[in-house]
Amino acid sequence: MQTYAPLVPTGTPADPAPASQIEVAGALLALLRDAGTEPRPDIQLEALTLAVAADLPVLLWGEPGIGKTAALTQLAAALDLPLTTVIASVHEPSDFSGLPIVGDDPAQQGVPMAPPDWAVRLVRAGRGLLFLDELSTAPPAVQAALLRLVLERRIGALQLPPEVRIVAAANPRSSAADGWELSPPLANRFVHLQWTHDHEVVVRGLGGTWPRATLPRLDPERLPEAVDFARRAVCGLLSARPGLVHRLPSSETRRGGPWPSPRSWEMTLGLIAFATAAGSSREVLSLLVRGTVGDGPGLELLASLDRMDLPDPETLLADPAGADLPERGDLRQAVLDGVVAAVRGRPEKSRWDAAWALLVRALETGAPDLVVVPATTLASLRQEDWDVPAAIERLAGAVSLSRRADRAAVRTAAATKARR
């Protein structure tokens, strides 16, 4: 007996075919990937975007699974830049220096170096974010081939557009898969940022909301001021500390990180200018400076930046009663030392008396122990025909108490050592 399918009225759609399990799984994956962003203070992300805005190559250091790749993916999406990811460790040196292509007449035309396809795509797009992943697992020959790409933005005969930014990521050698130390020439071309996880950021991100990456908002009116400030800061430090101009670390591990050289100081100058024009926090600037010239020189530069904002000693000596001293103890100590140095440079009775008045003001408005060393030094500058000012009596108690405390500390330390 022959059977027939039931007739479907004209214009009535047939029941949709049931979705396959693969399609259902795809829908679930799409929901899991659906996440939003929110403006949230994140000094790591702000430091990264500032270095990207300054067109400096950045190298993110972090343990596996910490979110370096995810941060770069989110950064590219937020900045509307096409992301090109290149795993450095699985490429040959010729992939970055160019592949030789023999033409019709090599003797006359030479042998051009053809770039890889991903470089051609970047040039065609005219902009993008080039992500060099797993840099610490790239062998030395590949690292050498990357030198020209990172510094000059050239791959074979191809020049990358100015709108292409370069960011790399690496794991420490102890946690990298067959890792290598970065060569000093390659390491010195990057701004090194330590990438760590923030518990609150991770929890909120897994809940569907990650921090939003945005380029810093530069104040057009502050650009000349920012450049002048950056030049004074870097040149002032290097004039006082010429040994910091170039200092190659002695250990192999430290050579693979940030260290001072004329190249890295130039990068630091640019970062200070960008951070100043953007009004970035001191925490962000600290990450960038220490990630460019290293912790030691970076901290010295940050300290000199603080001193650049200190009041002029001559201004304080001219009006000690109205002096506005810094609240921070280290800055206040630097100001008082500067005042005493100014008196030593031009010793006059009126300036000596003004310095004592300034020390009294510091005693009344801050910690007493900060005036001990300046007061002792200032007392040694007294000349025979100078009368002792009445202000010294007000400081005598603080100086005497500090000395008694020092002697008591010495006795306590000696007694503890004797008991051992």
What letter would DSSP give residue 319? -
Radius of gyration of the chain (CA): 31
Instruction: Note down the domain range covering 143.
Output: 39-211
Distance CA 361, CA 394 (A): 10
Q: Mean per-residue pLDDT for 123-149?
A: 91
* 350 within domain boundaries: yes
- pLDDT at position 417 is 61
Q: What pLDDT was estimated at residue 319?
A: 87
pLDDT of 279 over the 80 cut: yes
Could you tell me which of 189, 99, 208 has the C-alpha nearest to residue 144? 189
Q: Contacts by 206-210 with C-beta closer than 8 Å and gap 24+?
A: 208/34, 208/35, 208/36, 209/35, 209/36, 209/37, 209/38, 210/35, 210/36, 210/37, 210/38, 210/74
Give me 231's structure tokens: 């030049």
Asked if the structure places residue 206 within a domain, the reply is yes
Retrieve residue 362's tokens: 């510091």
Q: What is the pLDDT of residue 409?
A: 46
Question: Does residue 249 surpass a pLDDT of 50?
Answer: yes
* Boundary residue ending a domain (308, 329, 357): 308
Q: Are residues 289 and 326 in the same domain?
A: no
CA angle 221, 226, 231 (to 5 degrees): 150
pLDDT of res. 397: 60
Residue 1 lies in a domain: no
Domain count of the fold of the chain: 3
* Rounded CA separation 194/152 (Å): 24
Higher pLDDT, 224 or 412: 224
Same domain, 153 and 253: no
Residues 6+ positions from 108 with CB-CB distance below 8 Å? none
What pLDDT sits at residue 176? 60
Q: In the Cβ-directed half-sphere of 362, how many Cα atoms lie within 13 Å?
A: 33
Q: Give yes or no: residues 204 and 231 share one domain.
A: no
The number of residues making up the chain comes to 420
Cα separation, 99 vs 20, in Å, equals 46
Considering 169, 188, 211, which residue would you say is the last residue of a domain? 211
Separation between Cα atoms, residue 356 and residue 10, nearest integer Å: 104
For residue 399, pLDDT over 50 is answered with yes
* Cα 164 from chain centroid (whole Å): 20
Which of helix, strand or coil describes residue 86? strand
C-alpha distance from residue 330 to each of 105, 306, 416 (Å): 71, 10, 30
Question: Which residues, listed in sequence order, are joined to residue 159 by a DSSP beta bridge?
Answer: 154
* Residue 45, helix vs strand vs coil: helix
Does 195 share its domain with 294?
no
pLDDT of residue 12: 56
Say if 399 falls within a structural domain.
Answer: yes
Q: pLDDT tens across 171-181, in order?
A: 887 666 667 88
- pLDDT at residue number 11: 56
Instruction: Tell me the per-residue pLDDT of 107-130, one tens digit each, with 9 for 90 and over.
Output: 666 677 788 888 999 999 999 999
Is residue 103 pLDDT above 70, yes or no?
A: no
CATH number of the domain to which 127 belongs? 3.40.50.300
In whole angstroms, give the CA distance from residue 183 to residue 253: 9
Residue 385 in any domain: the answer is yes
Average pLDDT of the residues of the chain: 84
324 shares a domain with 301: no
Task: Tell me the pLDDT tens digit for each residue of 184-219.
Answer: 999 999 999 998 888 888 888 888 888 887 888 999
pLDDT at 68 over 50: yes
Q: Taking 60 as the threshold, does the pLDDT of residue 365 lie above it? A: yes
Please state the rounded mean pLDDT for residues 243-247: 93
pLDDT greater than 60 at residue 403: no
- The token pair at 276 is 């100043």
Say yes or no: 342 and 231 in one domain. Answer: no
Pair (198, 283) in one structural domain: no
Q: Are residues 242 and 149 located together in one domain of the fold?
A: no
- Please report whether residue 341 resides in a domain: yes
- Give the pLDDT score at 420: 60
> For 387, which DSSP code?
P
Q: Please indicate, yes or no, if residue 27 is contained in any of the structural domains.
A: no
Q: Work out the end-to-end distance of the chain between its first and last CA atoms, rounded to an integer number of angstroms.
A: 109
The phi and psi torsions of 89 (rounded to 5 degrees) equal -70, -15
How far from the centroid of its chain's Cα atoms is residue 218's Cα? 17
The residue from 211, 244, 267 where one domain ends is 211
Residues 235, 124 share a domain: no
For residue 112, give every residue at least 6 positions away whose Cβ sits within 8 Å of its Cβ, in sequence order, or none: 98, 100, 101, 103, 156, 157
Whether 103 and 196 share a structural domain: yes
Residue 315, helix vs strand vs coil: helix
The answer as to whether 5 is a domain residue is: no
Q: Are residues 344 and 415 in the same domain?
A: yes
Structure tokens that stand for 154 in this block? 């050239």
Tell me, yes or no, whether 205 and 283 share the same domain.
no
Give start and end residues of each alpha helix (H) in 158-279.
184-187, 199-206, 223-240, 252-255, 262-278
